[in-house]
């Protein structure tokens, strides 16, 4: 493992355009459950509550679960050592961008500036009637369902539900960074959720070296990954940082 870590440090130090692609696994050590796996969100909740058609028809049923799943947990969560190392690397010019599937704001809380939120975020709510965005902090979250302070319409978290498309700007920026990258760090993701899961394949097609950090092998490990670092992101990233100093 130590040799592999040294190889990765060399690769990162020589890279021209390193991009990190992160999934729920990077936030697991901050206390936010992943979707899949033991203790995952889908052990407790039915994924239907995040389907857009179900949400529109049953907002009073979906909202209490959504608050419980995301807002009660994410509000209290803090960045862990993995997030902090990525923030240091951006400051040091070693990391150009993070493309995250997460909606938890933890990369920004850690200090990263260039974060592309592929699936939106939990900070804001969007009105399905008037289209206005309202920050959660300015909303009465005790309502059920949660309604718009401007028109009384139904508010939906401003993250991407199943059946919705990816925000255009996030798609464009992700593709640009992916195609520009020569090193692509894939951290804590199963590689199952489409179309986000296609990005590492695009990076590989463009010649990037794929470095993967995960507790267990993913869809990428035996297909496109060049170096697989098995373990917790909160151990491996600080381990790499230590070798850089």
Is 116 among the residues that bind ligand NAD (CB under 6 A)? no
Of the candidate spans 17-25, 58-66, 126-134, 168-176, the one that interacts with ligand NAD by CB under 6 A turns out to be 17-25
215: DSSP letter:
S
Is 59 among the residues that bind ligand NAD (CB under 6 A)? no
Buried-exposed string 119-135: b where 16+ CB fall within 10 A, e elsewhere = bbbbbbbbbeeeeeebe
Q: At residue 122, what are phi and psi to the nearest 5 degrees?
A: -95, 0
Distance from the first to the final alpha carbon of the chain: 18
Of the candidate spans 8-16, 24-32, 47-55, 165-173, the one that interacts with ligand NAD by CB under 6 A turns out to be 24-32
Nearest-angstrom CA–CA distance, 232 and 234: 5
At closest approach, how far in Å is the CB of 174 from ligand NAD?
Answer: 13
32: DSSP letter:
P
* Residues in region 62-101 near ligand NAD by CB under 6 A: 101
Among 12, 49, 79, 102, binds ligand NAD (CB under 6 A): 102
**Overall size of the chain counted in residues:** 245
Which two tokens mark 198? 């296609």
At closest approach, how far in Å is the CB of 151 from ligand NAD?
Answer: 28
Is 108 among the residues that bind ligand NAD (CB under 6 A)? no
At closest approach, how far in Å is the CB of 51 from ligand NAD?
Answer: 13
At closest approach, how far in Å is the CB of 158 from ligand NAD?
Answer: 13
CA distances from 115 to 72, 174, 189, 204 (A): 23, 10, 17, 21
CA distances from 226 to 47, 51, 102, 161, 223 (A): 33, 35, 24, 32, 9
Is 112 among the residues that bind ligand NAD (CB under 6 A)? no
At closest approach, how far in Å is the CB of 164 from ligand NAD?
Answer: 11
Catalytic residue among 83, 119, 150, 177: 119
The sign one gets for the Cα dihedral 177, 169, 54, 132 is positive
Among 35, 55, 184, 220, binds ligand NAD (CB under 6 A): 35
Among 15, 50, 95, 103, binds ligand NAD (CB under 6 A): 103
**Catalytic residue check, 119:** yes
Footprint of ligand NAD (CB under 6 A):
23-25, 27-29, 32, 34-37, 40-41, 101-104, 119, 188-190, 192-193, 213-216, 218, 232-234
List, by residue number, the catalytic residues. 119
């Amino acid at each position: 493992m130590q040799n592999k870590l040294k190889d990765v440090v060399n690769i990162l130090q020589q890279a021209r355009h390193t991009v990190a692609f992160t999934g729920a696994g990077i936030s697991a050590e901050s206390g936010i459950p992943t979707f899949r796996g033991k203790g995952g969100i889908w052990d407790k909740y039915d994924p239907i509550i995040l389907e857009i058609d179900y949400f529109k028809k049953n907002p009073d049923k979906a909202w209490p679960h959504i608050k419980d799943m995301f807002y009660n947990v994410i509000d209290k969560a803090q960045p862990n050592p993995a997030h902090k190392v990525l923030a240091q690397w951006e400051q040091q010019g070693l990391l150009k961008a993070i493309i995250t599937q997460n909606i938890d704001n933890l990369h920004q809380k850690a200090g990263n500036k260039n974060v592309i939120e592929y699936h939106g975020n939990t900070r804001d709510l969007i009105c399905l009637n008037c289209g206005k965005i309202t920050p959660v902090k300015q909303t009465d979250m005790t309502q059920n369902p949660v309604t718009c302070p401007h028109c009384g319409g139904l508010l939906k978290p401003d993250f991407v539900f199943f059946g919705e498309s990816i925000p255009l700007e996030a798609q464009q920026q992700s593709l640009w960074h992916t195609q520009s990258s020569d090193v692509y760090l894939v951290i804590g993701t199963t590689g199952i959720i489409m179309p986000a899961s296609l990005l590492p394949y695009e990076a590989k097609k463009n010649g990037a070296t794929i470095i993967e950090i995960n507790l267990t092998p993913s869809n990428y490990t035996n297909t496109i990954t060049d170096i697989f670092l098995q373990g917790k992101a909160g151990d491996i990233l600080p381990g790499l940082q230590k070798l850089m100093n």
